[in-house]
């Protein structure tokens, strides 16, 4: 079947985009692997109207709402290849299935690359975190830490005292300059230059970190900025332009979420330097509406070509 729009990625951005197109009675295919980035978190916070709900429950509600629209199809598969053929795109799915669409919305998100520390990966999304706005309130002013990878740690450490007493672990990868050290001290942040060796406590909760010199520092949570990379390489196959962000490359989009390739739009973490569920949903709304307008005003993909 030839679709108006194929959406790669079925989390907040992809489903929000699909809703706009479904309400315009356009044929939409959502292709998703069922492994959203937030699957490790027990609850989502800061999302208006959804605060405290499980991410999986929010997605299930969105999918249920979309299922009421007869022009929307779902496939839980990996998208393996994408190519433009004239005014259409051909998407190859796992199992040698192929689908064609007049527009594509890339909403497949990113993967996190975490530091190689014993006890860290199994706590990701529970007591090892990246966003205080999403998770800080529930820490109840207990001791928290920042694990440095680079200068982003300075920014995190300056924010975090609003959520609890904060220690910055420099890990020998970030050395605050005198002004930064002064600002951190003014916020009450302790600086620990001896590296963290491992995380302690019955996972996925955290009780303390052990340093390489054997000392233990009690912590309720550890924040870090992971390195990120796209969850698949479809944008690269389509030659979409990228921009450098604080944790990795992301897709370069304009105010309508259009990429550098006509007919290809992108939304969510793969197209933003700031991961956030609300922003992802909003970007999906923009991308869905823009893809619909593109079908009307540029049916043959001649603009911007």
Task: Answer whether residue 303 is part of any domain.
Answer: no
Cβ proximity of 31 and 8 under 8 Å: yes
Domain containing 171 — which CATH number? 3.50.50.60
| The pair of three-digit structure tokens given for residue 229, joined into one six-digit string | 């990379």
User: What would you report as the CA-atom Rg of the chain, rounded to the nearest whole angstrom?
Assistant: 21
Domain that holds residue 280: 2-112+227-297
**Where is the domain boundary, 223, 243, 260?**
223
Count how many domains the chain has: 2
Cβ proximity of 295 and 102 under 8 Å: yes
Question: What is the predicted pLDDT for the residue at 304?
Answer: 62
**Where is the domain boundary, 223, 244, 266?**
223
Same domain, yes or no: 150 and 251? no
**Where is the domain boundary, 223, 240, 273?**
223
Question: What is the predicted pLDDT for the residue at 39?
Answer: 75
Same domain, yes or no: 67 and 154? no
Please give the Cα distance from 88 to 290 (Å, whole number): 16
Cβ proximity of 81 and 92 under 8 Å: yes
Task: Answer whether residue 90 is part of any domain.
Answer: yes
Residue 265 host element (H or E): strand 264-266
**pTM for the whole thing?**
0.94
Please give the Cα distance from 267 to 163 (Å, whole number): 30
Task: Answer whether residue 201 is part of any domain.
Answer: yes
Q: Look-up: residue for tokens 């951005």?
A: 13
Q: Cα separations (Å) of 255 from 37, 168, 271, 273, 290? A: 24, 36, 12, 14, 10
Same domain, yes or no: 6 and 108? yes
> Could you report the average pLDDT of every consecutive run of 10 residues in the chain (305 residues)?
93 97 98 82 78 85 95 95 94 90 97 95 94 92 96 95 98 94 97 97 95 98 95 96 95 98 97 92 98 95 72
Question: What is the predicted pLDDT for the residue at 239?
Answer: 97
Same domain, yes or no: 216 and 237? no
Task: Answer whether residue 304 is part of any domain.
Answer: no
Same domain, yes or no: 15 and 84? yes
Same domain, yes or no: 101 and 119? no
Which runs of consecutive H residues, i.e. helices, occur in 137-269? 152-159, 178-186, 234-237
Tell me the residue length of the chain: 305
Same domain, yes or no: 63 and 95? yes
């Amino acid at each position: 079947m030839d679709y108006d729009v194929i959406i790669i990625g079925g989390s907040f951005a992809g489903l929000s985009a699909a809703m706009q197109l479904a309400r315009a009675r356009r044929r939409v295919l959502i292709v998703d692997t069922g492994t959203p980035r937030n699957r490790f978190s027990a609850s989502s916070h800061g999302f208006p109207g959804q605060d405290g709900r499980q991410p999986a429950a929010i997605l299930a509600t969105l999918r249920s709402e979309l299922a009421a629209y007869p022009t929307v199809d779902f496939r839980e598969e990996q998208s393996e290849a994408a190519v433009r053929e004239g005014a259409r795109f051909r998407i190859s799915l796992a199992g040698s299935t192929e689908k064609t669409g007049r527009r594509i919305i890339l909403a497949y998100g990113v993967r996190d690359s975490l530091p190689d520390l014993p006890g860290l990966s199994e706590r990701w999304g529970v007591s090892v975190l990246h966003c205080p706005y999403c998770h800080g309130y529930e820490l109840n002013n207990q001791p928290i830490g920042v694990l440095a990878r680079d200068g982003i740690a300075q920014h995190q450490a300056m924010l975090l005292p609003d959520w609890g007493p904060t220690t910055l672990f420099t890990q020998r990868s970030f050395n605050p300059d005198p002004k930064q050290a002064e600002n951190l001290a003014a916020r009450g942040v302790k600086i620990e230059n001896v590296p963290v060796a491992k995380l302690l406590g019955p996972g996925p909760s955290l009780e303390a970190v052990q340093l390489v010199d054997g000392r233990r520092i009690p912590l309720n949570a550890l924040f870090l900025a992971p390195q990120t990379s796209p969850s698949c390489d479809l944008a690269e196959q389509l030659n979409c332009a990228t921009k450098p962000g604080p944790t990795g490359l992301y897709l370069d989009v304009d105010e309508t979420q259009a990429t550098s390739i006509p007919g290809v739009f992108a939304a969510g973490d793969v197209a933003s330097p700031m991961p956030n569920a609300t922003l992802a949903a909003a970007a999906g709304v923009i991308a869905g509406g823009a893809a619909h307008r593109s079908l009307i005003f540029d049916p043959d993909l001649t603009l911007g070509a």
